[in-house]
């Protein structure tokens, strides 16, 4: 049975660095870019809000705060929700990830207030699925006051206890932090997750520190491999040099033996003292040759050991890479299958689903931006000034304050159509094009009719 992960951290200022990480404007080293498209936003921003930082500021401006927010005051609290890696992968395999996300959002709304959870994103491009939620700590409880009984005796006028205020310390008091761990574990018990060991000496490592440690380990491993390759090359050079020295020494030994034989013959004839000297030198050279041969054997054994270590490490690294690649391939295939199933369900349950996707492409081709396209897809009218492009006529029409809207096609209720001033877009473009062509052709016709004065 695995453990739940519920981590809270205060944030001051705009917290733009965390926003860039959550929204993947900055790519972390442990994230798989091929899986980033699987990440989901679990809390939709209000109209006109596009980023997490803007959502935090929007909540502060609309919460009804009467006190000015200080520069160093905590404006948001980061919350990360997950579980043990093996258990999170099990939840994904069982197809319960959507249910797990829904229960997490239900817990956050019940614990902190739905309006205070301004953003929540599910990340699936890292090792373990997890949720990054952002809490703006708006509370309505009364402040603690000293000498409260004395003030009541003086009948001093107190402010309303239910007035909203920004207070992260009250949300993250020691008692409440323990309470969150207990209640969150209870909410996640249905997924086989339990509370961590209470009063454990283990400490949470933040994301930046984790990335720094991973990078340091990677750099160390690369340095070790480089050093091993250098040592292998050095040993090979020493072996080659030693072989050359042995060959030289063997030639010297052969020459020495020949000289000794000659000296012995000469000594037998003349009895010279030089013969003894040559014998001593010959013995010394033989000892030196033996020493070199032992050194060569030691170097060969060392090179063989290094080659074996290198081969073993290379085989292990290749095996880990193959296992990781296989695992990623299986996950990708499963996720593609889940996406296909979800797409089929969406098409079945929402008759206009395919048409909405088609109309999104039409809106972008015509010239509407992302926000305008969203408004049109929702069926809302949009007042527009600018240029509208017609693929059929390969022409752009400049317009001022026209009204665009997507409505069901009267001829086929299963389809949608784009209207400009309540006229289907194709017919509207045809009328505009005809007007432009007529305006262009009239001066030409007049010029042809004028034949000049007669003489």
Mind giving me the DSSP string for 212-227? HHHHHHHHHHHHHHHH
Q: What is the pLDDT at residue 116?
A: 93
Distance between CA atoms of residues 370 and 372, nearest Å = 6
> For residue 168, what are the CA distances in angstroms to 13, 57, 67, 74, 176?
13, 16, 15, 6, 12
With 70 as the cut, is the pLDDT of residue 61 above it? Answer: yes
Look at residue 201 in the predicted model and tell me its pLDDT: 57
User: Coil, helix or strand for 286?
Assistant: helix
In our burial notation (b when 16+ CB lie closer than 10 A, e otherwise), range 160-185 reads eeeeebbbbeebbeeeeeeebeebbb
Q: What is the pLDDT of residue 243?
A: 75
Query: Can you give the pLDDT at residue 214?
Result: 53
**pLDDT value of position 229:** 77
The 3-state DSSP class for residue 407 equals strand
Instruction: For residue 444, name the pLDDT band (cuts at 50, 70, 90).
Output: very low
CB neighbour list of residue 405: distance below 8 Å, 6 or more residues apart: 376, 379, 380, 381, 382, 418, 419, 422
Kindly tell me if the per-residue pLDDT of 293 is higher than 60: yes
pLDDT (0 to 100) of residue 147: 46
pLDDT single digits (tens) 184-238: 999 999 999 998 776 655 555 555 665 566 566 666 667 777 777 787 788 788 7
Beta bridge partners of 81: 6, 131
Q: Which residue has the tokens 């009239």?
A: 442
**Those residues with Cβ within 8 angstroms of residue 259's Cβ, 6 or more apart along the chain or in another chain:** 278, 282
Residues near 195 by beta carbon (within 8 Å), at least 6 away in sequence: 3, 4, 181, 182, 184, 185
C-alpha 420/C-alpha 226 separation (Å) is 67
How far apart, in whole angstroms, are the C-alpha atoms of residue 284 and residue 260? 13
Is the pLDDT at 417 greater than 70? The verdict is: yes
| pLDDT, position 368 | 93
What percent of the chain stands above pLDDT 90? 39
The DSSP code sequence of 84-151 is -HHHHHHHHHTT-HHHHHHHHHHHHHHHH-GGGEEEEEEE-SSSS-EEEEEE--EE-SPPP-TTHHHH
Q: Note the pLDDT of residue 46.
A: 92
pLDDT at 153: 57
Any residues with CB less than 8 A from the CB of 427 and at least 6 apart, and which? none
Q: Quick one: pLDDT at residue 92? A: 93
Predicted confidence at residue 270, as pLDDT, reads 46
What pTM value is reported for the model? 0.46
Predicted pLDDT of residue 122: 94
Tokens of 312: 């073993």
Query: Which of 112, 134, 119, 137 has the alpha carbon at shortest distance from 44?
Result: 119
Residue 98 phi, psi dihedral angles, 5° rounding? -60, -40
- Gap between the Cα atoms of 107 and 110, Å rounded: 5
Say what the pLDDT of residue 439 is. Answer: 80
| Residue 455's pLDDT band (cuts 50, 70, 90) | very low
Question: What pLDDT was estimated at residue 115?
Answer: 93
Taking the C-alpha atoms of residue 268 and residue 272, their distance in angstroms, rounded to an integer, is 8
**In angstroms, rounded to a whole number, what is the distance separating the alpha carbons of residues 365 and 392?**
12
CA distances from residue 170 to 71, 144, 164 in whole angstroms, order as listed: 19, 10, 13
pLDDT band of residue 361 (cuts 50, 70, 90) is very high
The lowest-confidence range among 63-67, 363-367, 416-420 is 63-67
With 80 as the cut, is the pLDDT of residue 97 above it? yes
- pLDDT tens by residue, 297-347: 899 999 999 998 888 999 899 999 999 999 999 999 998 889 888 888 877
Q: Which of residues 372 and 229 earns the better pLDDT score?
A: 372
State the average pLDDT over residues 358-382: 92
2-198, CATH topology level = BirA Bifunctional Protein; domain 2 (3.30.930)
CA dist., res. 61 & res. 222, Å (int) = 50
CB-CB neighbours of 135 under 10 Å: 25
Q: Is 418:376 a contact under the CB 8 Å cutoff? A: yes
Over 70: is that where the pLDDT of 267 sits?
no
Listed by start position, the domains of the chain span 2-198, 213-334, 353-446
Rounded distance, CA 403 to CA 409, Å? 17
Q: Which one is predicted more confidently, 160 or 318?
A: 318
Per the CB < 8 A criterion, the answer to whether 15 and 76 are in contact is yes
**What confidence tens digit (pLDDT) does each residue in 73-93 have?**
899 999 999 998 899 999 999
Token pair, residue 144, equals 């603690």
Residues found in the chain: 455
Distance of CA 289 to the CA centre of its chain: 63
Mapped onto helix, strand or coil, the DSSP state of residue 295 is helix
Express as a percent the part of the chain with pLDDT over 70.
80
**Mean pLDDT within 8-25:** 85
Determine which helix (DSSP H) or strand (DSSP E) holds 6, and give its type and residue range.
strand 2-12
Q: What pLDDT is attached to residue 211?
A: 56
């Amino acid at each position: 049975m695995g453990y739940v992960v519920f981590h809270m951290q205060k944030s001051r200022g705009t917290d733009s660095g965390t926003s860039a990480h959550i929204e993947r404007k900055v790519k972390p080293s442990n994230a798989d870019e091929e899986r980033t498209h699987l990440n989901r936003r679990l809390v939709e921003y209000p109209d006109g809000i596009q980023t997490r930082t803007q959502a935090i500021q929007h909540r502060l401006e609309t919460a009804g705060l009467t006190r000015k927010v200080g520069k160093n005051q905590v404006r948001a609290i980061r919350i990360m929700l997950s579980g043990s890696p093996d258990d999170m992968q099990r939840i994904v395999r069982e197809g319960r990830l959507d249910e797990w996300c829904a229960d997490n959002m239900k817990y956050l709304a019940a614990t902190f207030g739905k309006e205070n959870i301004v953003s929540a994103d599910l990340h699936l491009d890292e090792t373990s699925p997890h949720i990054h939620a952002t809490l703006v700590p708006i509370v309505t409880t009364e402040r603690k006051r000293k000498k409260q009984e004395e003030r009541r005796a003086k009948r001093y006028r107190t402010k309303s206890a239910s007035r909203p205020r920004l207070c992260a310390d009250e949300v993250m008091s020691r008692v409440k932090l323990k309470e969150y761990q207990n209640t969150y574990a209870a909410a996640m018990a249905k997924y086989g997750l339990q509370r961590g060991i209470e009063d454990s000496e283990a400490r949470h490592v933040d994301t930046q520190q984790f990335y720094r440690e991973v990078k340091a380990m990677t750099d160390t491993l690369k340095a070790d491999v480089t050093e091993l390759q250098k040592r292998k090359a050095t040993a090979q050079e020493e072996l080659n040099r030693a072989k050359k020295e042995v060959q030289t020494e063997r030639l010297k030994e052969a020459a020495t033996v020949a000289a000794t034989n000659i000296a012995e013959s000469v000594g037998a004839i003349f009895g010279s003292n030089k013969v003894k000297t040559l014998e001593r030198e010959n013995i010394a050279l033989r000892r030196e040759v033996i020493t070199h041969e032992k050194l060569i054997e030691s170097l060969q054994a060392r090179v063989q050991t290094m080659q074996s270590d290198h081969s073993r490490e290379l085989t292990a690294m290749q095996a880990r890479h193959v296992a990781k690649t296989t695992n990623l391939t299986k996950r990708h295939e499963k996720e593609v299958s889940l996406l296909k199933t979800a797409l089929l369900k969406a098409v079945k349950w929402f008759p206009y689903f395919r048409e909405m996707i088609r109309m999104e492409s039409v809106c972008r081709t015509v010239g509407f931006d992302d926000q305008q396209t969203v408004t049109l897809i929702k069926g809302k009218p949009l007042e527009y000034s600018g240029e509208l492009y017609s693929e059929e006529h390969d022409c752009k029409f400049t317009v001022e304050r026209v009204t665009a809207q997507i409505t069901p096609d009267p001829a086929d209720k299963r389809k949608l159509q784009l209207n400009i001033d309540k006229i289907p877009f194709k017919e509207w473009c045809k009328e505009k094009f005809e007007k432009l062509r007529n305006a262009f052709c009239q001066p030409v016709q007049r010029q042809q009719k004028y034949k000049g004065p007669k003489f």
